Amino acid sequence: MNQFNYLDNPLTPTNGMQAVPHTIEPSGFSGANLSPKSSTLPPGINNMENLITLILLQNGGVFNANAAGMLLQVLGVPVTPANVNAILNTVLTGTGGNNTAAAVIPFFNHFANAGPETLIQPPSNNHFANIIRDNVPLYARVVDIAMLGAHNAFTSGIEPTSAIDPNDSMYGSDLLALAPGFVSRFARTQYGNAMRLLNNGVRYLDVRVTNVNGEWYTENTMLSTRLSYYISDVIRFLQQNRGELVIFDLQHINFGNASLDQLWSYISGIRVNGQNLFEFVHVNPNRSPLSTLTLGEATRGGTSSGVIILANQPVSESRPIHYDRSLNMRSRWLQQDNIPGLINAIEGEQSLIGDGRYSNILRVNQASLAFGTSGNGLLNSINSWSYMFMAERTNSVLLAQDLNRWLSVTPILMVGFAESAYSNFNSQVIHVINSFNRNLK
């Protein structure tokens, strides 16, 4: 097959298509006033249907190998025989073997616009609200407590209409213009809100926030919803479940024009029944090293619930709210886009730190696949359909591993779609975690 060269054979509007300059308009949340970025797509191409229609027009009305090469070129994926065959197989499988416009255009429209919940099995609805209180001795060190973690925890509000975070490097991407549903399916890594996650046994929250026009949002490339929505849930959970402990890890903060002190002021103003999140911080990070902190100290002897906040910022003497995560956590992103590679990378991490060198800090097993945004990685992501679909399959494989051994080295198991009921994941992994914690010395 001859490789299609997009530079030598540029796509051009035909059959009356208008060459209208395209801009990516912000949407999906209120109160924003963002400047749209210009697209580098061919003139007149502002969504997936336009693009596929144009490709079909230039290939005799059918989606053939040359059409697949054109699409790969636009997406920035290497145009190799293997990649062309992969795209063709994906399309023909989805259309029942029909490569004409009547079947291909609806297929790509669905691919481009279907929301994050498409295809996944309905999540668990378990009640694991008291797993710390009922299974962890008060003398246990916090750094030794096994927990289920939620990767990019606060993304349940992401939909195809959500805006790209203007502080994110992907802002202005052509991929959003072509396939907002596809982007949202990989930006949304969790199904439920904070209350659902916590009730399903999640105790470690990987939190990503961004400041847009003075308002704080949660994000994962796309904006989810206001941070206050999720924090209110966390406060309610802590109020209702005495003796529980939540790790609130501000892993990424896109400050924009804001500061850490402004973020703390914002969080302190979020109150439920008169309480804010900081009222569940019962220790001073400057005086209570995480290496010796016990569950009893973090929860006032079990008479209250507790929260431990981490951020990649120095701890303030005047406002000692959080632990510096750069000094108190080992959390390595393994950058694997396939399950065998992920398992091998996890085993490598287990071997690397299994000698106990990090035993006095929090240790997170990032058991989540990476999303490929370019080249062959993007093609793998396309074939995976969505992050939650990919995560529920990954999580089922995790159940077959030696989780007790993993937890002894990295007590926090962080996953996508933590509520997944596929292979009964949520119930089974919480059972393993509870058993592990009951045996803490």
pLDDT in tens, 341-400: 999 999 999 999 999 999 999 999 999 998 765 556 666 677 777 899 999 999 999 999
Do 186 and 108 share a domain, yes or no?
no
Whether residue 57 lies inside any domain: the answer is yes
CA angle 91, 92, 93 (to 5 degrees): 90
Q: Alpha-carbon distance 276 to 270, whole Å?
A: 6
Do 76 and 166 share a domain, yes or no?
no
Range of the domain at 357: 131-438
Do 223 and 161 share a domain, yes or no?
yes
Structure-token pair, residue 380: 């793998």
Do 409 and 325 share a domain, yes or no?
yes
Q: Final residue of a domain: which of 57, 85, 113?
A: 113
Residue 202 has what DSSP assignment? E
Residue 326: its H or E element? helix 325-328
Whether residue 124 lies inside any domain: the answer is no
Do 63 and 152 share a domain, yes or no?
no
Q: Alpha-carbon distance 163 to 173, whole Å?
A: 11
Do 381 and 233 share a domain, yes or no?
yes
Which residues in 119-136 are b (16+ Cβ under 10 Å) and which e? Answer: ebeebbeeebbebbbebb
CATH of the domain at 254: 3.20.20.190
Q: Alpha-carbon distance 74 to 379, whole Å?
A: 12
Structure-token pair, residue 68: 């697949």
Do 202 and 83 share a domain, yes or no?
no
pLDDT in single tens digits along all 441 residues of the chain: 333 333 334 444 333 333 222 222 223 333 333 333 344 566 666 688 888 998 998 899 999 999 988 888 887 778 888 888 888 888 998 899 999 999 999 998 888 888 888 778 889 899 999 999 999 999 999 999 999 999 999 999 999 999 889 998 777 677 777 788 888 998 999 999 999 999 999 999 999 999 999 999 999 999 999 999 999 999 999 999 999 999 999 999 999 999 999 999 999 999 999 999 999 999 999 999 999 999 999 999 999 999 999 999 999 888 899 999 999 999 999 989 889 999 999 999 999 999 999 999 999 999 999 876 555 666 667 777 789 999 999 999 999 999 999 999 999 999 999 999 999 999 999 999 999 999 998
Q: Final residue of a domain: which of 70, 85, 113?
A: 113
Catalogue the long-range contacts made by 18-26 (C-beta closer than 8 Å, 24 or more residues apart).
18/44, 19/43, 19/44, 20/44, 20/46, 22/46, 22/177, 24/164, 24/172, 24/173, 24/176, 24/177, 26/163, 26/164, 26/166
Do 173 and 49 share a domain, yes or no?
no
Whether residue 1 lies inside any domain: the answer is no
Whether residue 347 lies inside any domain: the answer is yes
The pLDDT of residue 372 is 66
Do 295 and 229 share a domain, yes or no?
yes
Whether residue 171 lies inside any domain: the answer is yes
Do 187 and 252 share a domain, yes or no?
yes
The pLDDT of residue 373 is 56
Q: Final residue of a domain: which of 60, 86, 113?
A: 113
Whether residue 54 lies inside any domain: the answer is yes
Do 320 and 408 share a domain, yes or no?
yes
pTM given for the model: 0.86
Q: Alpha-carbon distance 349 to 376, whole Å?
A: 25
Whether residue 13 lies inside any domain: the answer is no
Rg from Cα positions in the chain: 24
Whether residue 264 lies inside any domain: the answer is yes
Q: Alpha-carbon distance 190 to 192, whole Å?
A: 6
Do 137 and 107 share a domain, yes or no?
no
The pLDDT of residue 45 is 67
Q: How many domains does the chain have?
A: 2
